[in-house]
Chains A and B, each alone.
Chain A
Amino acid sequence: MEFAEHIKTANVEDVVLRQPLHPPSRGTLCITGHHLLFSDREESSSRQVLLLLRNIDAIEKSVENLLGYPGFFSNAGHSERMSGSSGTITIKCKDLRVLQLDIPGMEQCLNIAHSIETLSCLDSVSDTYPFFYRPTDLSLEDQWDLSSPEKHYSQMKELHERWRLSSVNRDYLVCASYPPAVIVPHSIDDDTLKKAAKFRQGGRFPILCYYHRKNGMVIVRSSQPLTGANRKRCKEDELLLQAVIDGSDKGYIIDTRSSQQAQQARMTGGGFESKSCYSRWKRLHRQMERGKSLQESLIKLVEACGDESHNMDRWLSKLENSKWLSHVQTALSTAGLLAECVERDGHSVLVHGSEGTDCSLLISTLAQLIMDPHCRTMEGFLALLEREWVQAGHPFQHRCAHSAYSHARLQQESPVFLLLLDCVWQLWRQFPLALGFSEALLLRLASQTRRRPNTLKRFRRK
């Protein structure tokens, strides 16, 4: 395997593993193309740690050339071998675990650190673990149809009168981030869709994501319209939106940017639906944090959690300072607003921000969770995530490449999906009997998306 060239030292004996809240243990460390394996090789109560390299967010290494070794294991045999040089690698994982490895021998330590650094951030997607993961009891064919627009469409007979399944995006030519089949109004033909797509950023024209059975209202999502500074219009886009609210007098547009941000977006070719062109639509602006500042908020939060001073005041002020809970609150209240528009006011809603791949998905997911009991079952929730995040083109690989510890500050990095999981957790706290799944599922999802963000998505593109 080509990974071998990155591995200079595959095995090290006498490594000490330290983890908070665990006693330190001594054992053997192995490194493979995808994993870091630690085993203390004890007969009884053996402790093994299998760590996916992809899960590693940041490592810190320090080597020292000192004699002796102040540790828990001070019996003669060991300390003799220890003398000389040693090194310490601190591994900070994307699932927020922190491990410390004390490795005897400076060279081994540096080799291991180098291997981890290289292998934990391989660029090529097809080198990553999901492509090598071959569980014995699962076959590839039947796992990928959890939910699809086709299935979604066929499940909702009520929809068929006014909406149709379009395969305009068959070869991902109209919109690279949409699935091949999308649900659109019946009266709009594929040519109109193609033209409307040109007027939306990334080609993400408005498509249906939720149909409210009680009153027939829908949630539609898209990206921002490319009105630009000179207020361009697009007849097809207007037609498409008109068809969405066909028969009803009004629709709402929830823009996840402040109106000032939306105005500014016009300077870079983006924009918003103006009142004059979309007379039946009423715009509501709710500013939601995204991108870098959300990432920084998470970094501050994790730092606050890791504070070991046990000082109450410092914890509260750091928590406040991270603003993470404010973001959770904004997301939930915006989703609540969306649900109220559909449920109480009985109007259809279009959701978009700028790209329509982050906050729009966040609030449309939460709103569905609030309104539709089926989405609160285990199966329904997973299907919802599949539909609204994987197939709707949330760029997992960009957003979740790193976590709170990484020093690589990437522009694309943003924990939107984690924010979603936190919001769902908050809903569960308020309605502990309403969800068909538990906190464990949310935790599992959080760590899985961090470790192998691209699994799901890649297959779709094939």
Chain B
Amino acid sequence: MEHIRLPKVENVRLLDRVSPRRRRVGTLYLTATHSIFVENESGMRNETWVLHSLVCNVEKQAASASGCPLLIHCKNFQVLQFVISRERECHDVHLSLQRLSQPERYEELYCFSYKPNIDEEERRQEWDFLDLKADYSRMGLPNSLWKLSPVNQHYKVSDTYPADLFVPESATPPVIVGSSKFRSRGRFPALSYYSKENHAAICRSSQPLSGFSARCLEDEQMLEAILRSNPRSDFMYVVDTRPKLNAIANRAAGKGYENEDNYSNIKFQFIGIENIHVMRNSQQKMLEVCELRSPSISDFLEGLESSGWLKHIKAVLDAGIFIAKAVAEEGVSVLVHCSDGWDRTAQVCSVASVLLDPYYRSLKGFMVLIEKDWVSFGHKFSHRCNHLVGDPKEVSPVIDQFLECVWQLMEQFPCAFEFSERLLITIHSHIYSCQFGNFIGNNQRERIELGLRERTHSLWSYIWTNRADYINPLYRPNHSQTQGLLRPSTAPYCFKFWSGLYNRFDRGMHPRQSVEDYLRAIQEETQQLEEQLTSHKEKITQIEQEQEWNVTSKETTFDKSPTVWALGNDLGLANTPQDYTGGFITSSPCQPKADSSLILLPKDLNQTSDSNFSNSSDQESGIADVSCRSPLSEDSTRDADSDEAAYSAA
């Protein structure tokens, strides 16, 4: 709180980015965690909340007659432009926000003060939601080829690696330790993905400290052990994800890459993915294109091209495809590394896993994948995402690129993923928001030292509780195309600009209708109606039973007290029809026809949506939906009579 110089500023204008003449006037509040802009016009209380930890930079621009502009760039690509009438106030807000958005210690982060209404027991259970050991046993590990190694318990061999690691059965602790001494930051080759079907594996490590001529016997043995853990194959790939030039330059610093002559039966391959600095600049350039006010097609395409962003995305995906094909089609194990093995290696391994295994394309599997390849293997989230004030050269959108690769795949395989774009965007914003403890710190050891499991909440269980929001209604796990290895096309025109993420807050740029939302609504409705149907059926059988029972009981008790029984019977009958109508009225307005179609529909969700689409009146309501959101406001042009005529004709 001591950093807030000015908790409340009146008469602030928030400009619309697309059309700056549209502005909202209101009050800006600064709290310990959020900046809140409250619009105080027209009775409607419209609030904009911005988390301090999402603020990327705050820029005070030259004051003009109308006031002093303050430009706020957020890490989730939101851009806010305030105009504060008094320069002094603007100055204070600027300084406060600058300090608040750049915490110096972990303890200042939002996750430590985020206290949703969840009791301690439940909070602890949140962290047990994902279990990486379960994922390894899903892959069939440990088995006769791979074992869980205790060598890195207490993070003694490599402080950036997780404690639990799988290594080849034949790799003894001295070999592992020896190998780790020959690798940057001690990150020795360890298992990332194992294919049950053909025993091929993806391993990851950091670069070897080979310099110009150094060798390490243990490291050579380690690779030999990996090769031997794949009994059907007589060679393995070693993939260096760096451009060759960068790798050669590293040799001068005593690092470098494997010499094919020293290792038996390896095929060495460079895949040129640029380093974190190139990626940071590229994203910066791309974001400048996003921020153009009304770019022409040429401005946009030229800007996109010169940013090189899609080129880099393609490079990451190309590398993932290479590895996935080696594993699935050739049955050959792959060792992947870059320099330190926590940026490009994480990207490439996780992209390959998504391509290879349908499990990682499910909602839970995707969370497991991020937890495994990114969080546990020590992607430096806090450095790369600038959680604390630190070296700006360490910042890089490495995980953004992974999420985008997955998005590009979703565009090519719309039925292959259980989750929707919304999940990627939510994960993206929480990686930066620091609201949950999952992505705080740079490696497992730091996370344990910070006591994140004890003090913060987990994003994964939050997503799981709200999973209905993230489900892709088009998901068809049984579709032949979505099973096994995905074979995406990498022709340049398959790579699209992801406006859903980078222009997330520019509402005007998005499609005016969402097929996904529509399908989701239909699914929900169908489900509700199905539930109703079963409950009604239950009621019917219940009534039938009652009546039967009444009849029999009447017969037996008729002599004793006929009036009482008759009364009870009447009441029962009187109640039920009302229940029926009551039930129908509360359901959706178009229930009669949906009800009738329900009977025709099999349980398959996609079929349901298809037949609903062909249902003419549903389509009509869809069109009505469109028009009211259209910029040209053609809704008012719609004439109910003509519409009906058209549809009856059709």
Which residues of A come within 8 Å of B, CB atoms? 212-214, 305, 307, 310-317, 319-320, 323, 325-326, 329, 336, 339-340, 343-344, 370-374, 376-380, 429-434, 436
Interface majority SS on A: helix, strand, loop or mixed?
Answer: helix
Query: With the chains together, A316 CA to B297 CA distance in Å?
Result: 11
Contact (Cβ within 8 A) A436 B639: no
User: Which residues on the B side are within 8 Å of A429 (C-beta)?
Assistant: 511
Which residues of B come within 8 Å of A, CB atoms? 296-298, 301-302, 304-305, 308, 310-311, 314, 490-493, 495, 511-515, 518, 619, 622-623, 625-627, 630-634, 636-639, 642-643, 645-647, 649-650
Contact (Cβ within 8 A) A325 B297: yes
Query: With the chains together, A329 CA to B295 CA distance in Å?
Result: 11
Contact (Cβ within 8 A) B622 A433: yes
Distance between B511 CB and nearest chain A CB, rounded to angstroms: 5
Contact (Cβ within 8 A) B495 A312: yes
Among residues of A, the one whose C-beta sits closest to the C-beta of B517 is A433
Contact (Cβ within 8 A) B492 A329: no
| Residue among A312, A336, A377 with max Cβ neighbours from chain B (10 Å) | A312
Distance between B8 CB and nearest chain A CB, rounded to angstroms: 40
Query: With the chains together, A319 CA to B304 CA distance in Å?
Result: 12
Among residues of B, the one whose C-beta sits closest to the C-beta of A327 is B297
Count A-B contacts at CB 8 Å.
119
Which of these, B491, B515, B632, B647, contacts A433 with CB under 8 Å? Answer: B515
Contact (Cβ within 8 A) A212 B637: yes
29 sample A-B contacts, Cβ–Cβ < 8 Å, listed by A number: A214-B636, A311-B492, A312-B305, A312-B314, A312-B495, A319-B493, A320-B297, A320-B305, A326-B296, A339-B634, A340-B632, A343-B632, A343-B634, A343-B636, A371-B632, A373-B627, A373-B646, A376-B623, A377-B650, A378-B650, A429-B511, A431-B512, A431-B513, A432-B511, A432-B514, A433-B625, A434-B626, A434-B627, A436-B650
* A380-B308 CB under 8 A given contacts A325-B297, A433-B625: no
Which of these, B298, B304, B639, B646, contacts A213 with CB under 8 Å? Answer: B639
Query: With the chains together, A378 CA to B647 CA distance in Å?
Result: 10
Among residues of B, the one whose C-beta sits closest to the C-beta of A379 is B650
User: Which residues on the B side are within 8 Å of A378 (C-beta)?
Assistant: 650
Distance between A308 CB and nearest chain B CB, rounded to angstroms: 9
* A343-B633 CB under 8 A given contacts A313-B305, A315-B492, A430-B511: yes
Contact (Cβ within 8 A) B626 A431: yes
Contact (Cβ within 8 A) B311 A325: no
Contact (Cβ within 8 A) B490 A310: yes
Query: With the chains together, A213 CA to B647 CA distance in Å?
Result: 18
Contact (Cβ within 8 A) B310 A312: yes
Which of these, A315, A336, A431, contacts B511 with CB under 8 Å? Answer: A431
Among residues of A, the one whose C-beta sits closest to the C-beta of B638 is A373
Which of these, A313, A315, A319, A436, contacts B619 with CB under 8 Å? Answer: A436
User: Which residues on the A side are within 8 Å of B619 (C-beta)?
Assistant: 433, 436
Contact (Cβ within 8 A) A434 B310: no
Among residues of B, the one whose C-beta sits closest to the C-beta of A335 is B632
User: Which residues on the B side are within 8 Å of A373 (C-beta)?
Assistant: 623, 627, 634, 637-638, 642-643, 646
Among residues of B, the one whose C-beta sits closest to the C-beta of A340 is B632
Distance between B423 CB and nearest chain A CB, rounded to angstroms: 20
Contact (Cβ within 8 A) A336 B637: no
Among residues of B, the one whose C-beta sits closest to the C-beta of A320 is B301
Given contacts A320-B301, A373-B623, 15 further A-B contacts (CB under 8 A): A213-B637, A312-B308, A312-B311, A313-B308, A316-B310, A320-B297, A343-B634, A374-B645, A376-B623, A430-B513, A432-B511, A433-B513, A433-B515, A433-B622, A433-B625
Among residues of A, the one whose C-beta sits closest to the C-beta of B490 is A310
